[in-house]
Chain A
Amino acid sequence: MEKTTKRQAQTGVVLAGTRIRDYRIGRGMRQAQLAKECGISPSYLNLIEHNRRKIGGALLVRIAEALEAEPAILSGGAETALTEAMDAAAGSHPRAGAERDRAEEFAGRFPGWARLVEAQYREARRLEQIVERLDDRLTHDPFLSASMHNVLSSVTAIRSSSAILANGEEIAPEWQARFHRNIYEDSQRLADATESLVSYLDADDEAGAAATLPQEEVEQWMVARGWQIAELESDPEHDINALVSEAEQLVTPAARSLARRFLQRYGDDVRALPGVSLRNALLTTDDPALLAQMLGVGLPQLFRRLVTLDETALADGTPYGLVACDGSGTLIFRKPLPGFDVPRYGAACPLWPLFAGLQRPMALIRENLIMSGRDDAAFRAEAFSEISHPNGYGGPAVVESWMLIKPLITRPDAALPVGTSCRVCAQSACPARREPSVFSD
């Protein structure tokens, strides 16, 4: 690492820009390369690195990602972030008996070893999340389920046929020929099935792998769009069918139908609450209840508009997540956040305020949540469900519940422990558990 300035050495304060520069050089990265990855000019990065420009919010997050470092470590308070991570690592392996009250001392005396502990803890957590996602897919993914059935059926036929031939007993030549042919056919089928499986599992996970459900196609399309339909933002009357036909992610007729309904609602939401009005109101408050009152819109509509905003429009630079379900509890809208996974298949955690909202329609439910896992990330959730009568009051009542999610920077004193779904949640004593967890099997 480069030497800190004399002043920094005297005061013991290492500024964010200096940390960024140190990390960059430590990773053998040129200034131009880092600037390009973060979407800023090299000259601006140079100003940041020499502490002539403040750094924070979304740009700090981008720089941290490019440098594979934690934002808190770059911005300062590194020791706090480090000891917190060490404490979490110790908490996840209580039998190791790590001296948790001496973590700060350890980090101060052996910063390299402390960073190693932190890095290994985060890697373990990352892998754990991958396992959770894969388990969710294996259990509920219809394509994987069918593929595994295909593979096992082929293996079964090959095993039985080859055992007959290898048995030693005399078999009529025509039967030998038949079983040889069957083994050949099944081995070919097995090769094809495993090739498809590998391709499927290797598919780009940034887009959530290949979509197997129409709703997933729509979600992948929205991810590609950054959760905002610019054409409708500027003109709510923009041709919806044209938008759908241009979307390469919308392959199936069902997905295109869902997308049309989504865009119809999107246009209605823009008409009721233009982006400019929302951004202006956010200068005054970010409390959803106050915003809805101020802007004269319903909470679900406000929630949907808030998630179209990117981090540059938000004071803390942290985008919102949003989940919605219908009256059966089936998820109909998913915009997850890092640390708040929303199951792709199968049912979600029954303790989410989203579902409590179904029982208390037209009431705002606010809850601090701790998402079960080694990170125990904290979130603020605001849920609201509303009832409509699309076919008039003589027709059925249709209920939708919406839950807005925001990460909390500091851990709240009181929070409800929740998970993604019972199957991948480690909270064994949860009163709402519906099935055993894969971590307890």
Chain B
Amino acid sequence: MTERRVLLIEDEPNIIEAIRFILSRDGWRVDTHSDGETALEAIRARVPDLVILDVMLPNKSGYDILNDLRSDEALGSTPVLMLTARGQRKDRDLAEKLGANKFMTKPFSNGEILTTVRELVG
């Protein structure tokens, strides 16, 4: 069975650890990246089955990264789950407009993130 890969782009170490633990236990290979500026390179280096992308990142926002991702022909169809502490309608609308497949606000439940990841990758 082909290993299913998730790239988690998030700069909070303890959130990274918790998500990695939950998904790994479910059979996912979880790679992580913390810097917004080099996130796209990390995605290009080995295209994952799913990107979990935080909005507030150092050096570049998740919205900008998503915009660049969708503009890249080779990466444009990669599923993206956006995570954010800002849950207002306009943030959700912006994420959808830029091409996020799903939008989740913090704090989220472990079950919720696991279910969503399974749904997006299938």
Q: In the complex the two chains form, is A155's CB within 8 Å of B106's CB? A: yes
Among A175-205, those with CB < 8 Å from B are 175, 178-179, 182, 185-186
Q: How far is the CA of A159 from the CA of B19 in the complex (A)?
A: 11
Of the candidates B14, B22, B110, the one whose C-beta lies within 8 Å of that of A185 is B14
List residues of B (12-28) whose CB comes within 8 Å of A's CBs: 12, 14-15, 17-19, 21-22
Distance from B23 Cβ to chain A, minimum over Cβ atoms (Å): 11
Contacts of B14 in A (CB 8 A): 157, 161, 182, 185-186
Interchain pairs with CB closer than 8 A, number: 53
Cβ contact within 8 Å between B85 and A160: no
- Which of A152, A160, A178, A186 touches B22 (beta carbons < 8 Å)? A160
**Complex partner residue of A164 from B15, B18, B106, B107, CB under 8 angstroms:** B18
Is A241 part of the contact surface with B, judged by Cβ < 8 Å? no
A187 shortest CB reach to chain B, Å = 11
Q: Is the pair B22, A157 in contact by a Cβ cutoff of 8 Å?
A: no
Complex: chain B residue closest to A159, CB-CB = B107
- B110–A160 contact, CB under 8 A? yes
Give the residue among B18, B86, B106, B109 with the most A Cβ atoms within 10 A. B18
A 157-173 contacts with B by CB, 8 A: 157, 159-161, 163-164, 167
**Inside 8 A of B12's CB, which chain A residues have their CB?**
153, 156-157
A182 touches B18 (CB 8 A): yes
Interface range, B side: 10 to 19
Beta-carbon contact of B18 and A152 below 8 Å? no
Interface centre among A149, A156, A159 (most CB of B within 10 A): A156
CB-CB under 8 A from B56, the residues of chain A are 149
B21, B22, B86, B107: the one within 8 Å of A156 (CB): B107
Residues of chain B within 8 A of A153, CB atoms compared: 12, 15, 85, 106
Q: Which residue of A lies closest to B87 (CB)?
A: A152
Q: How far is the CB of A170 from chain B (nearest CB, A)?
A: 11
Question: Chain B residues near A160 (CB, 8 Å)?
Answer: 15, 18-19, 22, 107-108, 110
| Chain A CB within 10 A, most for which of B22, B107, B109 | B107
Q: Return chain A residues, CB-CB under 8 Å to B86.
A: 149
Judge whether A149 and B85 touch: CB under 8 Å.
yes
Q: How far is the CA of A411 from the CA of B15 in the complex (A)?
A: 57
| CA gap between A179 and B17 in the complex, in Å | 9
- Taking the closest CB of chain A, its distance from the CB of B97, in whole angstroms, is 16
Using A153-B15, A156-B15 as known contacts, say yes or no to A163 and B110 having CB atoms under 8 A apart. Answer: yes
CA distance A155 to B107 in the complex (A): 6
Closest to B25 in A: A169
Q: Mark B71-88, 1 if CB is under 8 A from A, else 0.
A: 000000000000001100
Question: Contact: A156 with B108, CB < 8 Å?
Answer: yes
The distance in angstroms between the C-alpha atoms of A159 and B15, with both chains bound, is: 10
- The smallest C-beta distance from A141 to any residue of chain B, in angstroms, reads 14
By a CB distance below 8 angstroms, the chain B residues around A179 are: 17-18, 21
Given known A152-B85, A153-B12, A164-B22, contact A178–B17 (CB-CB < 8 A): yes
CB of A182 within 8 A of CB of B106, answer no
Beyond A164-B18, A186-B14, whether A156 also contacts B106 by CB under 8 A is yes
A157–B109 CB distance below 8 A? no
> How many angstroms between the C-alpha atoms of A161 and B108 in the bound complex?
12
Take A159-B107, A175-B21 as given contacts and tell me if A148 and B85 are in contact as well, using a CB distance cutoff of 8 Å: yes
> Which residues of B have CB within 8 Å of A163?
109-110
Q: Which residues of A contact B85 (CB under 8 A)?
A: 148-149, 152-153, 156
A164 touches B21 (CB 8 A): yes
Tell me the minimal C-beta distance from B21 to chain A in angstroms. 6
With a cutoff of 8 Å between Cβ atoms, the chain A residues found around residue B19 in the complex are: 160
* Alpha-carbon separation in the docked complex, A159 to B106 (Å): 10
Once bound together, how far apart are the Cα atoms of A152 and B106, in whole Å?
6
Which residues on A sit within 8 Å (CB–CB) of B21?
Answer: 164, 175, 179
Interface residues of A in 123-160 (CB under 8 A from B): 148-149, 152-153, 155-157, 159-160
| CB-based nearest B residue for A169 | B25
Docked CA distance A182–B21 (Å): 13
How far apart sit A384 and B106, CA to CA, in the bound complex (Å)? 47
Bound state CA distance, A159 and B18, in angstroms? 9
CB atoms of B17 and A182 under 8 A apart: yes
Question: A235 to nearest B CB, angstroms?
Answer: 49
Cβ contacts B102-122/A at 8 Å (1 or 0 each): 000011111000000000000
A interface residues with partner B (beta carbon < 8 Å): 148-149, 152-153, 155-157, 159-161, 163-164, 167, 175, 178-179, 182, 185-186
A sample of 10 cross-chain residue pairs with beta-carbon separation below 8 angstroms, ordered by A number, consists of: A152-B85, A153-B12, A155-B107, A156-B108, A159-B108, A160-B19, A161-B17, A163-B110, A164-B21, A182-B17
A153-B106, A160-B110, A182-B17 given. 17 additional CB < 8 A pairs?
A: A148-B85, A149-B85, A149-B86, A156-B85, A156-B108, A157-B12, A157-B15, A159-B108, A160-B15, A161-B14, A163-B110, A164-B110, A178-B17, A179-B17, A179-B21, A185-B14, A186-B14
Q: Which 10 A-B pairs have the closest CB atoms?
A: A160-B18, A152-B85, A157-B14, A156-B107, A156-B106, A182-B14, A159-B107, A155-B107, A149-B85, A163-B110
